[in-house]
């Protein structure tokens, strides 16, 4: 899930709800460039930098512990002396100020959090662009020792980037839709350079990948990229992307459908500050199809090297893009069961799941597309001693303890877009506890972003059997558990329908599977 500071930052842009699982906290601890950035005794810390401007909005600095298990008790001391002359770093509830020093003691009786402390930062009256200093954090814990970290606060020039709030596009699967976007500057200072940050659903694929754009490949369920543009947007002026910019609707896009994306304009300094608030954007790559140009619509001064600039009103520089995909293209998703032979006492691998027979992709978003979840009922007389982390106990508190052994019914979901011919596979290990013909099942549930249950093109193949032929006596099983045979079908029952209604909307919101999304790399996704 998004960290608190990131949610607040994005809320200022009006798009917090669109960034589900953009940066999972455990990924921070795994990022060596963050953990090793500044030395720490005992454990590592991380805090983002901020840039503020006179007349601009408040900003937030959040301090994190980069550890596998969060602290329950700790003390944070914050030395504000280096920034106190130009920045008001406000004391949150529970912190005691003593001149420039804040002391915050936490005894966590609730669920501990890796987010140790969040501070609100505002420029003081009389603050001047170019002033800069560091907050010094020291964290002390009863058992893990202490660590320190520094975060930079900068005063920048204020500009006010703007954009059209809404753009509507229309296309068909396989077509390219042009969409040159524009940015304005209603401030009194020229904006020297701009960054376009875009994220959108599957149908809004980039038509070209530019050399001055960074395309993010991990931690987003949608397309996401940032383009750094060397152009000056004059005060009271505007500039427009060149005509090569647009979207290539994939040939397997769901149709009819309505897809959404967001284009957000930032100053280069605000982009860097945003990156520091979400340091684990995941793997990225530059494009190689030329340079995307931003052309002023009126004569503007040449780009000059200048101090950092920040947007004083980040609520008016976002464009929502609505793409209507016309046509008639949906998908058939077929459940995959398994048949194994084994002896009592043996533990055997059993892999089940589903295949998308196409022609449209699933889990691709939009108002009409479907997400597919598999309910896996373990055969009675067997015990799931190992379950994939993309599956959770469907009869317990849904979303807790992914991969937990011992459940009788699992809800399994992959957040990836699954195209035609691709399989979602969920490998279990079952222990055989009694002899006989032991039956379980795989039931597919399809839903949309509005949490309604939907049907695919062929509901008849949405259920498959799991059959274990268990012989008396001890010994190893000889079943392959590969899920190739479906063993026939089983009818949907009233009890399973009740279960479906109780598992949190089936993880089928846009950005579905938030709890599991950080574990996507451990799922088995087969081309």
For residues 278-300, average pLDDT: 78
Whether pLDDT at 518 is above 60? no
Are both 299 and 441 inside the same structural domain?
A: no
421 backbone φψ class: left, alpha, beta (φ>0; ψ -120 to 50): left
Q: Are residues 251 and 374 in the same domain?
A: no
Beta-sheet pairing, 347-359 with 423-432: antiparallel
Return the pLDDT at 514: 30
Which residue range is the domain that position 399 belongs to? 330-526
Percent of the chain as helix, strand, coil, to the nearest 5: 10, 45, 45
- Which of 111, 140, 135, 1 lies closest to 59 in space, CA to CA? 135
Is 228:333 a contact under the CB 8 Å cutoff? Answer: no
223 in the same domain as 235: yes
Nearest Cα neighbor of 502 from 401, 374, 395, 406 is: 395
Residue 120 lies in a domain: yes
What's the whole-number mean pLDDT along residues 158-178?
Answer: 94
pLDDT at 506: 37
| Nearest alpha-carbon partner for 42 in 63, 67, 64, 75 | 67
Answer for the pair 357, 401: CB distance below 8 angstroms, yes or no.
Answer: no
For 194-223, letters b (16+ CB in 10 Å) and e give bbbbbbbbbbbbbbebbebbbbbeebbbbb
Read out DSSP for 295-331? EESS--PPP-----EEES-TTSSEEEEEEEEEEEE-E
In a domain, 21, yes or no: no
- pLDDT (average), residues 478-486: 43
State whether 343 and 418 are in the same domain: yes
Torsion angle (degrees, nearest 10) of CA 406, 410, 415, 421: 110
Say yes or no: 295 and 418 in one domain.
no
Same structural domain for residues 334 and 437?
A: yes
Cα–Cα distances in Å, from 244 out to 193, 232, 294?
A: 20, 20, 11
Percent of the chain with pLDDT over 90: 54
Please give the pLDDT value at position 309. 86
Q: Of 305, 328, 351, which closes a domain?
A: 328
User: What's residue 206's pLDDT?
Assistant: 96
In a domain, 2, yes or no: no
The pLDDT of residue 42 is: 64
What would the two tokens of residue 172 be?
A: 């068909």
Which residues share a beta bridge with 503?
none
Residue 4, in any domain of the structure: no
Distance of CA 124 to the CA centre of its chain: 35
Q: How confident is residue 501, by pLDDT bands cut at 50, 70 and 90?
A: very low
Residues 106 and 165 both lie in one domain: no
Same domain, 147 and 169: no
Band (pLDDT 50/70/90 cuts) for residue 433 is: very high
Instruction: Tell me how long the chain is.
Output: 527
Q: What is the pLDDT of residue 78?
A: 96
**Is 11 a domain residue?**
no
Name which residue leads in pLDDT, 132 or 309: 132
CB 25 within 8 A of CB 114: yes
Fill in the DSSP letter of residue 140: E
CATH number, domain at 371? 2.60.40.680
pLDDT value for 301:
43
Q: H or E element: which one contains 10? A: helix 4-13
Q: 133 and 37 in one domain?
A: yes
> Per-residue pLDDT for 316 more than 90?
no
- Of 326 and 476, more confident: 326
Q: With contact defined as beta carbons under 8 Å apart, do 161 and 91 qualify?
A: no
- Across 109-123, 210-224, 355-369, which has the greatest mean pLDDT? 355-369
Tokens at residue 223, please?
């397309």
Domain final residue, candidates 266, 301, 328:
328
Average of per-residue pLDDT values in the chain: 79
320 assigned to some structural domain:
yes
Average pLDDT over residues 354-373: 94
DSSP state, residue 520: G
Give buried/exposed letters for 102-141 (b at 16+ CB in 10 A, else e).
bebebeeeeebbbebbebebbbeeebebebbbbbbbbbbb
Per the structure, the count of domains in the chain is 3
Looking at residues 390-395, what average pLDDT do you find? 88
Model confidence pLDDT, tens digit, residues 52-101: 998 888 999 999 888 877 888 899 999 999 999 999 999 888 899 999 99
User: Do 293 and 358 have their domain in common?
Assistant: no
Same domain, yes or no, for 349 and 271? no
Does pLDDT of 286 surpass 60?
yes
* Angle, CA of 414, 416 and 417, to the nearest 5°: 125
402 and 370 inside one domain: yes
Q: Is residue 511 part of a domain?
A: yes
The 10 Å Cβ neighbour count of residue 55 is 11
pLDDT band at 106 (very low <50, low <70, confident <90, very high): confident
Q: Which two tokens stand for residue 46?
A: 């991380």
Q: 505 pLDDT band (50/70/90 cuts)? A: very low
Q: Could you tell me which residues are beta bridge partners of residue 514? A: none
Question: Is there a domain that residue 22 lies in?
Answer: no
Domain endpoint, select from 129, 155, 181? 155
309: Cβ–Cβ under 8 A, 6 or more apart, which residues?
A: 53, 156, 157, 158, 159, 189, 191, 192, 267, 268, 269, 270
Q: What CATH number is attached to the domain comprising 218?
A: 2.60.40.10
């Amino acid at each position: 899930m998004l960290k608190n500071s990131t949610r607040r930052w994005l809320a200022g842009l009006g798009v917090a709800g669109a960034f589900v699982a953009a940066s999972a906290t455990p990924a921070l601890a795994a990022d060596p460039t963050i953990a090793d950035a500044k030395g720490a005794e005992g454990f590592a810390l991380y805090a983002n930098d901020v840039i503020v401007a006179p007349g601009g909005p408040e900003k937030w600095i959040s301090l994190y512990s980069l550890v596998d298990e969060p602290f329950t008790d700790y003390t944070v001391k914050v030395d504000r002396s280096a920034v106190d002359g130009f920045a008001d770093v406000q004391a949150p509830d529970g912190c005691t100020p003593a001149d420039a020093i804040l002391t915050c003691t936490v005894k966590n009786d609730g669920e501990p959090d890796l987010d140790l402390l969040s501070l609100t930062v505002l420029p003081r009256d009389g603050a001047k662009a170019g002033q800069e200093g560091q907050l010094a954090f020291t964290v002390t814990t009863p058992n893990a020792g202490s660590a320190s970290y520094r975060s930079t606060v900068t005063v920048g020039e204020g500009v006010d980037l703007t954009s059209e709030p809404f753009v509507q596009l229309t296309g068909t699967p396989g077509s390219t839709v042009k969409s040159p976007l524009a940015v304005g500057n209603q401030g009194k200072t020229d904006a020297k350079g701009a960054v376009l940050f875009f994220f959108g659903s599957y149908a809004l694929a980039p038509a070209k990948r530019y050399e001055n754009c960074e395309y993010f490949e991990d931690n987003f369920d949608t397309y996401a990229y940032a383009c750094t543009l060397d152009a000056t947007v004059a005060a009271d002026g505007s500039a427009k992307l060149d005509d090569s910019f647009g979207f290539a609707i994939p040939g397997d896009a769901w149709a009819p459908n309505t897809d959404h994306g967001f284009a957000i304009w930032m100053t280069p300094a605000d982009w860097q500050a945003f990156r520091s608030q979400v340091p684990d954007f995941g793997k990225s790559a530059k494009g190689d199809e030329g340079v995307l140009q931003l052309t002023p619509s009126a004569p503007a001064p040449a780009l000059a090297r200048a101090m950092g600039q920040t947007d004083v009103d980040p609520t008016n520089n976002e464009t929502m893009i609505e793409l209507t995909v016309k046509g008639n293209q949906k998908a058939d998703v077929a459940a995959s069961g398994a048949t194994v032979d084994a002896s009592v006492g043996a533990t055997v691998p059993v892999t089940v799941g589903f295949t998308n027979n196409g022609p449209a992709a699933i889990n691709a978003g939009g108002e009409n597309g479907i997400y597919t979840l598999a309910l896996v009922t373990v055969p009675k007389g067997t015990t799931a001693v190992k379950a994939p982390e993309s599956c959770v106990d469907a009869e317990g508190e849904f979303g807790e303890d992914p991969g937990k052994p011992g459940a009788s019914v699992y809800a399994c979901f992959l957040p990836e877009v699954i195209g035609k011919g691709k399989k979602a596979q969920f490998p279990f290990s079952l222990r055989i506890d009694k002899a006989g013909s032991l039956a379980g099942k795989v039931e597919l549930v399809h839903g949309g972003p509005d949490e309604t249950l939907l049907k695919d093109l062929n509901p008849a193949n949405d259920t498959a059997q799991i059959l274990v032929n268990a012989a008396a006596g001890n010994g190893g099983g000889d079943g392959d558990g590969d899920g190739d045979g479906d063993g026939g079908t089983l009818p949907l029952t009233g009890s399973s329908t009740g279960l479906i209604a109780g598992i949190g909307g089936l993880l089928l919101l846009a950005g579905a599977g938030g709890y599991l999304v950080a574990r996507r790399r451990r799922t088995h996704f087969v081309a």
